[in-house]
Amino acid sequence: MKKRILSILLITVLLLGIMPFSAAAATTIQSVAVRVKPPEAGRYPAYAVNLDTDGIVLDVEDDTYGECQENGVVWFCGDTPAPADQPFEIGKVYTVRVLLLSDSSENEFAVNPAITVNGQNAHLQWRTPSYISIEYTFPALEGHTVTFSAGSGSGTMAAVNNIAGEYTLPACGFTAPYSSQVFKCWKISTDSNDWYPDETIHVFQDITVTAVWKNKDSRAEVFDVEASSEDLASIPVLYGKKSIPQINTTNGHPAYVTDSTGNLRWQRKEGDTWVNDNTGRFTPGEWRIATQVRIDERSDPDNESVLGDPVTLTVNGQAWTPENGTGKPTVAYNYSMIFFVSPTFVIVDNPNIQPPASVGKVTLRLEGYQSGKAVANAVVKGNDRIHIEETVLFEANSIQDLEGEDPSKIREASGTFSADKYYAAVIAFSAKDGYVLDHLVRDDVSFENAIEYMESNLGEVFRGVYFLNPPAKYTVTFHSNGGSAVAAQKLDFGKKVTKPADPTKSGYVFKGWTLNGAAYNFNTAVSGDMTLYAAWEAKAPMTNPFVDVKKSDYFYAPVLWAVEKEITNGMDATHFAPNNSCTRGQVVTFLWRAAGKPKASGSNPFKDVKKGDYFYDAVLWAVEKGITNGMDATHFAPDATCTRGQIVTFLYRAAGKPKVSGSNPFKDVKKTDYFYDAVLWAVKNEITNGMDATHFGPDSTCTRGQVVTFLYRKEK
């Protein structure tokens, strides 16, 4: 089994291989000469293209014409793309369009390049520097003439004109050169094979068909063929699976009933016509078998034989009917044969017998396919209409190894699944009783976690090979119940969750993580996806400790908020000093703490900012985020007082510099000022107002009460 799957993997890789191409030297492409196979009546469109201009890639990523386009080539009849599966027709005019793309951005087509198709000047349909579309229209297609020659015989046969594509050879109408001779076969001027009446040839040019003669056949003739089949009577069962019966010749050897592909087939009647039926089961109606009786050359070296004229066939005592109605066989130099059809089998509908249901679409899943879980415990499941016959898992260290040609890098999976490995699943399933796979196609079968579908065999058993995504890790989600966000963790089976930093929630104290209402033990091994929930306890209402902050003050709520959030403290236990001026170091520290004290990654360029300073991390963060700069390249001036213009600018930049609109009412705020947008944004968002209706006071010193108020309004 393993060798067979590895072979499938390797064959697929060869089909999917991608070869790199070399880059061409920079140049202007002045001319392009294209050669294509010209249209011929009866032939199918050809898409091979030759160029004598180097550095051109033909495969353009453009599927405008769908299946009518291949390798950058489209054939048109008039304005309509010519389908690839329809031959060119006599009398019609065809145009070829070739789409060319330069292979490098350094190469480009000239503005008006010289272009030819098969040596003829062509039309430039479209051009960009890297892309051109060329068209050429061929003359209307003409048919061909089939001329007949008697060879060494005599007589005449009329030529046949205006032929293209398939042509069925007629019976010989010439007279043999000698009475001891008979017609043997036709020879065609375009190939060396022997051809016989009623055989179909392909005509793409004028040809001569010449009669070949032979001495009359001296082989023994077989007229009556008898055969038997033990299983024939039991095969046509309502909704039974169609199978080919074994028919053995009992009389008339060396003639035999052939069961080679296409020579023994079931047919059903549609109206007055019998049609071959390739579906899987019998349905009510009329059915019959069509088969071939044949004798091959030297099938019995001691007694060479040929089918006589006419031939009869009897199977299980019932006479079968020649398809040609005459019983006259086709006799060639190396075989003779004739087709027969069986008596009709009438299958009657029975309402008590229900037809089997199609399994429909099937979604396969590999249960237990998790990183860290045992491979041996993984099980493929489908729906309740199928039975899993076989499951084999293969692994490799990379997707390239899994798709590669080296079988030593592909091994049967064992141990535990790993997110660092890649896997392929070989799955076989059959239909359960009451269901059939008859109408199942490979696109009806999907596999969860599959990267791509590789190979399948359909029939009584579906067999597919699927490449899988690396196995999933378990996800541990942290639900903070209104607190600050905590990132989820991805873990292998059996690993332990890393306890994260405690979340925060205004007015509450964090009491730990819970699972199913109980405190979670972080020493527990993970065995599946789960969500941990934060537990909180409400804080006691904060009381105002400051004698210089009264309930009637505009900064009363902001001060208590800032202290509770640990954005700032009082100057001592009972004084906040709301009217004291605020320094640059204090302002960036307030912003940094409000942002959650994020770490900065840059180095410190400032001589007046030292590692032990309370504002050290805040200054580096603010500069890194573009919230403020130093006073010069090496000085931040943390003790300098902060103005109203500066503080609203800090807040505006920390908010991401949102777009602002509206008119400016302030005489002391000009469009060229660095704080212009920040002032308009702060006033519009009610973070602050002007000193009066027409003055903002951007150079006025900002107090501690004002700064925490501005920050409070921004955060709220």
- Banded pLDDT at 60 (limits 50, 70, 90): low
What the block records as the tokens of 134 is 């060329």
- Which 3-state string (H, E, C) describes 644-709? HHHHHHHHHHHCCCCCCCCCCCCCCCCCCCCCHHHHHHHHHCCCCCCCECCECCCCCECEHHHHHH
Model confidence, pTM: 0.37
**CB neighbour list of residue 402: distance below 8 Å, 6 or more residues apart:** 9, 394, 395, 396, 410, 422, 423, 424, 467
Residue type, 685: N
What the block records as the tokens of 318 is 């019932």
Q: What is the pLDDT of residues 613-646, one digit of tens each?
A: 999 999 999 899 898 888 899 999 999 999 999 9
CATH number of 474-538: 2.60.40.4270
User: From CA 157, how far away is CA 66, in angstroms rounded?
Assistant: 46
Predicted local confidence at residue 405, as pLDDT:
77
What the block records as the tokens of 261 is 């592909």
Least confident piece of the model among 114-123, 160-169, 189-198, 435-444: 435-444
* Contact (CB, 8 A) for 624 and 601: yes
* Contact (CB, 8 A) for 168 and 198: yes
CA separation, residue 469 to residues 368, 372, 398, 695 (Å): 14, 15, 11, 64
User: From CA 10, how far away is CA 1, in angstroms rounded?
Assistant: 14
Burial class for 533, CB neighbours closer than 10 Å (0-12, 13-18, 19+): middle
Residue 384 has pLDDT above 60, yes or no: yes
User: From CA 343, how far away is CA 320, in angstroms rounded?
Assistant: 6
Percentage of residues of the chain with pLDDT beyond 90: 39
Q: What are phi and psi of 373, to 5 degrees?
A: -85, 155
* Contact (CB, 8 A) for 232 and 252: no
Residue type, 204: F
- Banded pLDDT at 58 (limits 50, 70, 90): low
CA separation, residue 133 to residues 6, 60, 125, 328, 558 (Å): 44, 11, 5, 58, 70
What the block records as the tokens of 419 is 């997110």
User: From CA 628, how far away is CA 617, in angstroms rounded?
Assistant: 14
What residue segments make up the domains of the chain, in order of their start?
Answer: 26-137, 144-215, 220-347, 359-468, 474-538, 556-715
Q: What is the mean pLDDT of residues 390-396?
A: 92
Side-chain half-sphere CA neighbours of 144 within 13 A: 18
Predicted local confidence at residue 180, as pLDDT:
81
Predicted local confidence at residue 401, as pLDDT:
87
Percentage of residues of the chain with pLDDT beyond 70: 92
- Banded pLDDT at 16 (limits 50, 70, 90): very low
Output the average pLDDT for the chain.
Answer: 86
Predicted local confidence at residue 179, as pLDDT:
86
Q: What is the pLDDT of residues 282-334, one digit of tens each?
A: 889 999 999 999 998 766 666 688 898 899 999 999 999 999 888 989 888 78
Predicted local confidence at residue 14, as pLDDT:
33
CA separation, residue 601 to residues 103, 487, 620, 629, 654 (Å): 43, 21, 8, 16, 17
DSSP state of 470: P
**CB neighbour list of residue 605: distance below 8 Å, 6 or more residues apart:** 630, 633, 634
**CB neighbour list of residue 80: distance below 8 Å, 6 or more residues apart:** none
Predicted local confidence at residue 356, as pLDDT:
87
